[in-house]
């Protein structure tokens, strides 16, 4: 679902496909990983001046890197995921070294819709994006993103904006060239 007035998750087609391949390969268990990038507030269309929110602006999360993680859930890996704390810390260190942040997480829902479950809501962190891939019979069929605005509030869907690799790649010190 794409909305012009709501938040947007901007991710390269290459990274989006990598997440969907990870989800399909993990089937019938949930896959998971970390989204590294930057939150741009006050974005008008495709522009952000870096000076903070502007009146009527849209929040956009730009994903610069996707870091696959192992699902450490031992009890119910087909319906839950757990990312080890040391994996999250390593992702935060890597993000910081690139001048970026951990902006969210991704996971799959085997044979279920790409919508947050009650368990997802219980474990979600405010302000993070949650990219969810629905996988049916080993094939990724739908990818949607959600953000928790505040504690005790429901998830808000954010539009997924697949962009060409030249736009989403790179970032300070990433070693990836912009084309």
For the record, the structure tokens of 61 come out as: 């999360």
pLDDT at 29 over 90: yes
pLDDT at 32 over 60: yes
Do the Cβ atoms of 32 and 46 come closer than 8 Å? no
Looking at residues 109-124, what average pLDDT do you find? 96
Least-confidence region, from 21-30, 38-47, 56-65, 150-159: 38-47
d(CA 91, CA 171): 15
| pLDDT score at 175 | 36
Residue 93 half-sphere exposure toward CB, CA atoms < 13 A: 6
The residue ranges of every structural domain in the chain are: 8-168
Least-confidence region, from 17-26, 126-135, 144-153: 144-153
Residue 168 half-sphere exposure toward CB, CA atoms < 13 A: 24
| pLDDT score at 82 | 96
| pLDDT score at 86 | 97
| Count of beta carbons in the 10 Å neighbourhood of residue 48 | 19
Is the peptide bond prior to 8 cis by the omega test (within 30 degrees of 0)? Answer: no
**Structure confidence by residue, pLDDT tens digits, 59-83:** 899 999 999 999 999 999 999 999 9
More confident residue, 179 or 26: 26
**Structure confidence by residue, pLDDT tens digits, 45-62:** 333 333 333 334 458 999
Number of helices (H) and strands (E) in the chain: give both, helices first: 4, 7
Residue 103 half-sphere exposure toward CB, CA atoms < 13 A: 26
pLDDT at 177 over 90: no
Looking at every residue in the chain, the average pLDDT score rounds to 84
According to CATH, the topology of domain 8-168 is Cytidine Deaminase; domain 2 (3.40.140)
**Structure confidence by residue, pLDDT tens digits, 139-156:** 999 999 999 888 888 999
């Amino acid at each position: 679902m794409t909305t012009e007035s709501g938040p947007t998750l901007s991710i390269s087609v290459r990274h989006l496909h990598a997440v969907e391949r990870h989800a399909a390969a993990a089937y019938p268990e949930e896959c998971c990983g970390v989204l590294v990038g930057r939150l741009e507030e006050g974005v008008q269309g495709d522009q952000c001046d870096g000076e903070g929110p502007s009146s009527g602006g849209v929040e956009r999360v730009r994903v610069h890197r996707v870091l696959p993680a192992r699902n450490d859930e031992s009890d119910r890996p087909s319906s839950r995921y757990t990312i080890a704390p040391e994996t999250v810390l390593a992702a935060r260190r890597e993000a910081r070294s690139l001048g970026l942040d951990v902006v969210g997480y991704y996971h799959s829902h085997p044979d279920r819709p790409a919508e947050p479950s009650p368990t997802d809501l219980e474990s979600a962190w405010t302000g993070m994006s949650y990219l969810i891939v629905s996988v049916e019979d080993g094939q990724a069929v739908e990818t949607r993103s959600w953000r928790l605005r505040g504690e005790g509030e429901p998830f808000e869907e954010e539009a997924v904006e697949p962009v060409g690799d030249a736009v989403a790649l790179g970032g300070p010190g990433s070693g990836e060239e912009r084309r």
